[in-house]
Amino acid sequence: MSAEKAVIILSGGVDSTTLLYDILSQGYQVYALSIDYNQKHSKELKFAKKTCKKLNVVHKIADLSGVGKNLLYRSALTSQDISVPDGNYKEESMKQTVVPNRNMIFLSLAVGFAISLNAKKVFYGAHAGDHAVYSDCRKEFVDAMKQAILLADWQPVQLEAPYLGLDKGDIVKKGLQLGVDYSLTWSCYKGARKPCGKCGTCRERLEAFKKAGILDPVKYY
C-alpha cells in the first residue's frame, strides 16, 4: 500500500522545516511547495531547496514575484520603499511585515497542487507566536479555510496546522527530537548575507533556541 500524499507550504524557515521533518516521520509521501512572492528574503527559497534535497522530497517553487511586486506591495517584505522594522513581534511596527492576504493565496495554490496530485492533506506551519501580528495564522482563519477548501472542489482536501498552539521554542524542541538540520533554515526578513539578529523574526528565532537550550547554528551579524 502506497503512502498517503501530502503537500506542505515550505518557506525555508524554522517552523515549516520542522513540520516537514515531522510529517515525513509520520510516513507521508510529501510534496513541498515554496512561493517566490518578491520577498526581500527570497534566499529562504534556497534553504528550502537544500532541505528538500537532503531529505529527498519533491520541491516546487511557484513564481509569484510579479504578483508580489505589482499587487502585494504594501508590506516591508515586498516593497523597497518600506524598511523592515527592528524589534519584537509584539510591537505595533511589526505589522508592517504583513503581506496582504498572503496565506490565503498560498493555501489556494497548495490546495490546487494537492488536488492535482490526488493528495488528501495540506500542511502549513502557523504557530502561536504569529497570532498577535498575522491574522492568517489564527485558529479562526484556519477553521474558516478548512470549510472553504472543502467547498472549493469535488475532491476533499484537509487543511492541517498542527503547530497552531505551539510557540517557536516548543517547535525547536520538537525539531531537535526529529533531527532537524537548522543550519539549512533562514528566518531573517532583511535577506542580507547573514541574518541581522534585530528584526522581529530574528529575535523570535534567537529566543526560541534559547528556550530550547541550544545555540542557533546560523551566524549573525
Q: Is the pLDDT of residue 131 over 70?
A: no
The answer to the question of residue 74 being in a domain is: yes
pLDDT of residue 1: 67
CA distances from 192 to 19, 203, 219 (A): 25, 16, 12
Q: Is the pLDDT of residue 83 over 80?
A: yes
CB atoms within 10 A of CB 213: 10
Per-residue pLDDT of 150-167, as tens digits, reads 999 999 999 999 999 999
The answer to the question of residue 27 being in a domain is: yes
Residue 49's identity, in one-letter code, is K
Task: Count how many domains the chain has.
Answer: 1
The answer to the question of residue 48 being in a domain is: yes
Q: Is the pLDDT of residue 132 over 80?
A: no
Q: Is the pLDDT of residue 89 over 80?
A: no
User: Measured between alpha carbons, how far apart are the two ends of the chain, in Å?
Assistant: 49
CA max distance for the chain: 53
For 156-207, give the DSSP string.
--EEE-TTTT--HHHHHHHHHHHT--GGG----TT--SS--S-BHHHHHHHH
The answer to the question of residue 50 being in a domain is: yes
Q: Is the pLDDT of residue 130 over 80?
A: no
Nearest to 201 by CA among 182, 188, 210, 211: 188
Sheet architecture: strand order including 158-160: 58-63, 29-36, 5-9, 121-123, 158-160
pLDDT of residue 88: 82
For 30-56, give the DSSP string.
EEEEEEESS-TTTTHHHHHHHHHHHHT
The answer to the question of residue 58 being in a domain is: yes
Per-residue pLDDT of 19-43, as tens digits, reads 999 999 999 999 999 999 999 999 9
CB atoms within 10 A of CB 63: 11
Which residues on adjacent β-strands are paired with residue 58?
31
pLDDT of residue 94: 80
The answer to the question of residue 205 being in a domain is: yes
CA distances from 196 to 87, 97, 188, 200, 205 (A): 11, 15, 7, 10, 12
CATH code at 69? 3.40.50.620
**What is the C-alpha separation between 194 and 152, in angstroms, rounded?**
41
The answer to the question of residue 110 being in a domain is: yes
Domain enclosing residue 28, as ranges: 5-212
Average pLDDT over residues 65-92: 90
The answer to the question of residue 85 being in a domain is: yes
pTM, full prediction: 0.96
Percent of the chain whose predicted confidence (pLDDT) is above 70: 98
Residue with the larger pLDDT of the pair 188 and 136: 188
